[in-house]
Structure 1
Amino acid sequence: MALEIGRKQAPELDRQITGLDALELTAGTRRNPVGRFWSALWPMITAVVIALAAWQLVVLSGWKDRYVLPGPTDMAPDFVDQLTSGSFWEAVALTMQRAVTGFALSIAIGVVVGVVVSQSRIMRRAFGSLITGLQTMPSIAWFPLAILLFKLSESAILFVVVLGAAPSIANGLIAGVDYTPPILLRAGKVMGLRGLDFYRHLIMPASLPSFVAGLKQGWAFAWRSLMAGELLVIIGDTTSLGVLLSQARELNDTPAMISYMIMILLIGILIDQLFGVVDRAIRTRWGLDST
């Protein structure tokens, strides 16, 4: 009797399993690259169109004279001229060189501080609040000290960039370590992981999402600190985005000034998109994003 019931239920069970397999395959099917690119692009295009339209409406309202606040159509020719100027791209290159150098130093210092503080309760009690306090301190407040210590030099700018970015990176790593599941820590110790291997094969992979979030926030602080530094610290005859922005302000060249501001914004958005690619790759690898 039981054998007969089992035979009757077998086709139904096979049908259900087949349906589950089809559902899993469908869920794992990825959209074509063009569709994914367009789905990511059109919201940004829409946001740009809305921002430009709002900007133009403010100009048309007559709130400020056009020589004070030009509209998108007024400054577009100047923006195109800047994009075709070799000196402009030299300034961008110098700014990006400073940004990459300062951010690399911030990562090195932030990782060391994060590892040390996260593994010692005494160190955390002593320096945990200090790191958060440094993170919340406005970068411009460091420049009087930086200029006093390093004069008007590259070191003064890098000093403030590192102080702006390193605490965020350290806090990101500390948070990642704090939220590492205890079972993983016990498993690593059982498998004999010690010292650098413990961090390399367990702590860093487990804390990677929080660490990437800390890197992203650290870059935001580094970029803001760098722009403030280039506006305040003019080094000889060097020309950077901050110097161009300051010169445009002094000459009351509003179209050029807005062009430089737009370039600074675009660079920030581009770097944010790169961090987004890394974040999506991590989510996909961890099975958190199946689309």
Structure 2
Amino acid sequence: MPAPESTAFAAGLDTLEAQQVPAARRWPRRTAAQAAPPLLAVTLVLALWQAAYLLGFSDTLPAPAEVADDLGAAWRAGTLLPALGHSLARCLFGFMASAVIGILLGLLLARIGPLRTTVGPVLGALQSLPAAALVPVAVIALGESESAVYAVVLLGAVPSIAVGILSAVRQIPPQLLRAARTMGATGRATATHILLPAALPGCVVALKQGWTFGWRAPMTAELITSTQLPGIGRMLDEGRNQHDFSLVLAAVVLILALGTAIDVGVFGPLERRVLSHRGLAPDTMSA
């Protein structure tokens, strides 16, 4: 008959192994769970699209296979990757500049009341302007060039990020600041250990909104300006001029696919991680 100590030790090993196996499989399961809803949504959209084509809802609507053929032709012709690269590079550079300016401006607005009173309404008004309205302003001021495209991104993304940062800072519970002062935190310590962690979830949301506008703005500028700037917007313009609905939809699919990939693959995990550290993630709250 085994000793009680060995039985307890074996039971402990069994419990430890049972806890380690789910931990080892957690990442694949979580990845599959996160990928399933987007894949299901894409499948549903493609099924409805194919059904609309077969039922003849529109004489100009191409089949999904035709759009896939146009994308394949662009890939074989060597024009697809350069178009994606140019548009993505403009968006990334514009977004990074917008993030730096928007974060600093949002913090200044939160810190200085008179500046918030005067500049805040202007930023709110700029947020309501679509990218198509900003393109003529940038083109007249800077000419039809790369600089005009970056200006459109800045004019649209900076107000969105700044207002989001301002809202995130102003929504910090005042009890946290009082507790920090009571414990002797002042100046940099308060900003580093209290303000920044408390405002971080709102800051991530602000950056996400800025990216959303920054991704749309270059396409609009490429589409509207007459300068032949390579990019996905140029593909849209070519499809419009050629009355090629399939090419237009191919460009739209590229815009949606890449924008969704950045949102799901970059900002989604970042937002979940920040919320999890704050104890606000759904799985943490339900535990």
Into which bin does the TM-score normalised by the smaller protein fall? 0.7 to 0.9
- Greater Rg over alpha carbons, structure: 1
Shift of 1:127: 1.9
Q: 1:114-263 residue pairs with structure 2 within 5 A?
A: 114-189=106-181, 190-194=183-187, 198-236=190-228, 238-263=229-254
- Pick which of 126-135 and 81-90 moved more: 81-90
**Following TM superposition, by how much is the alpha carbon of 1:187 offset from its aligned partner in structure 2, in angstroms?**
4.0
Amino acid at match of 1:42: A
Asked if the contact 1:248–1:256 (Cα under 8 Å) also holds between the matched residues in 2, the reply is yes
Give structure 1 stretches of 5+ with no counterpart. Answer: 1-21
Partners of 2:219 and 2:231 within 8 A in 1 = no
**Cα offset for 1:136?**
1.3
Q: Tell me the equivalent position of 1:265.
A: 256
Distance in 1, Cα, partners of 2:42 & 2:185: 53
Q: Deviations over 1:173-220 (max 9, x none)?
A: 1111111122322344453431x5543443222111111111111111
Deviation of residue 84 (structure 1)? Answer: 4.3
Counterpart of 1:59 in structure 2 is 53
Contact 1:161 1:221 in 2 (8 A): yes
Where in structure 2 are the equivalents of 1:67-146 lying within 5 Å? 68-146=60-138
Are 1:82 and 1:259, in contact at CA under 8 Å, matched by a contact in 2?
A: no
Q: What letter is aligned with 1:61?
A: L
> Is the Cα–Cα contact under 8 Å of residues 92 and 240 in structure 1 kept in the other structure?
yes
Deviation string, structure 1 residues 77-129 (Cα, Å, up to 9, x no partner): 22233344432101111111100111111111111210111112222222222
Matches within 5 A, 1:34-45: 34-45=28-39
Paired residues of 1:103 and 1:165 also in contact (CA < 8 A): yes
CA RMSD of aligned residues (A): 2.2
- Size of the aligned set, in residue pairs, is 262
Distance (Å, rounded) in 2 between the aligned partners of 1:80 and 1:280: 35
Q: Secondary structure at the match of 2:279?
A: coil
Query: Which segments of 5 or more consecutive residues in structure 2 lack a partner in the other structure?
Result: 1-14
- Residue type matched to 1:242 in 2? G
SS at match of 1:152: coil
Q: TM-score, normalized by length of structure 2?
A: 0.84
